[in-house]
């Protein structure tokens, strides 16, 4: 393949790859971050709804604020993960654009490093969000275990 045709083919590949990466990221990653938000938000809503019950055991009442704090932490981590995901996607698009523009290799490598860094933050925040859910649910489960059995 002559050099100009090869360069053109590589540029077209980079453009197609950039579009496909953007679509795939939205289709696959966004639901992951949304689930971290929803699972913690739904759990917090259930706990708040439980507070409408009459005569809640004091052991449970002491655990509820902690559970809500953990669930709130999970919601915040999920929301920040979604923001970081958007930033990572923007950086990946810039990475492919740098390839299309035939920028120097060090510029392209820096763009790739930054995109990977932001994506790493997304993954960490997702797992921290799920960890907050486990802590909140575990707090309530421990409180239930400590409740006296009904006579």
Domain carrying residue 24: 3-146
Neighbours of 41 (CB within 10 A): 16
150 SS3 class: coil
Q: Is residue 58 part of a domain?
A: yes
Report the C-alpha gap between 125 and 36 in whole angstroms.
9
What is the structure's pLDDT at 74? 95
Q: Is residue 49 part of a domain?
A: yes
Chain mean position to CA 110:
23
Mean pLDDT for 27-31 is: 73
Give the chain's domain count.
Answer: 1
Predicted model pTM: 0.79
pLDDT tens-digit readout, 103-140? 899 998 998 999 999 999 999 999 999 999 999 999 99
Q: Is residue 151 part of a domain?
A: no
Q: Is residue 75 part of a domain?
A: yes
pLDDT tens-digit readout, 63-103? 999 999 999 999 999 999 988 988 888 888 888 888 778 88
Q: Is residue 86 part of a domain?
A: yes
Q: Is residue 128 part of a domain?
A: yes
Closest by alpha carbon to 89, among 16, 37, 23, 11? Answer: 23
For Cα atoms 92, 29, 80, give the angle at the middle one, nearest 5 degrees: 85
What is the structure's pLDDT at 46? 93
Q: Is residue 61 part of a domain?
A: yes
Closest by alpha carbon to 79, among 128, 37, 23? Answer: 37
């Amino acid at each position: 393949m002559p050099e100009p045709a090869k360069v053109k083919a590589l540029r077209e590949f980079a453009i197609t790859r950039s579009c496909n990466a953007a679509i795939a990221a939205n289709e696959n990653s966004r639901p992951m971050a949304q689930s971290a938000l929803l699972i913690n938000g739904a759990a917090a809503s259930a706990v708040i709804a439980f507070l409408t019950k009459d005569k809640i055991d004091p052991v449970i009442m002491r655990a509820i604020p902690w559970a809500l704090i953990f669930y709130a932490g999970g919601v915040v981590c999920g929301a920040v993960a979604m923001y970081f995901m958007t930033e990572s996607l923007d950086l990946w698009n810039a990475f492919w654009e740098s390839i299309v523009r035939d920028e120097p290799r060090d510029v392209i490598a820096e763009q790739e490093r930054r995109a990977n860094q932001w994506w790493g933050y997304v993954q960490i925040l997702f797992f921290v969000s799920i960890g907050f859910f486990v802590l909140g649910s575990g707090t309530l489960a421990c409180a239930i275990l400590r409740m006296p059995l009904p006579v």
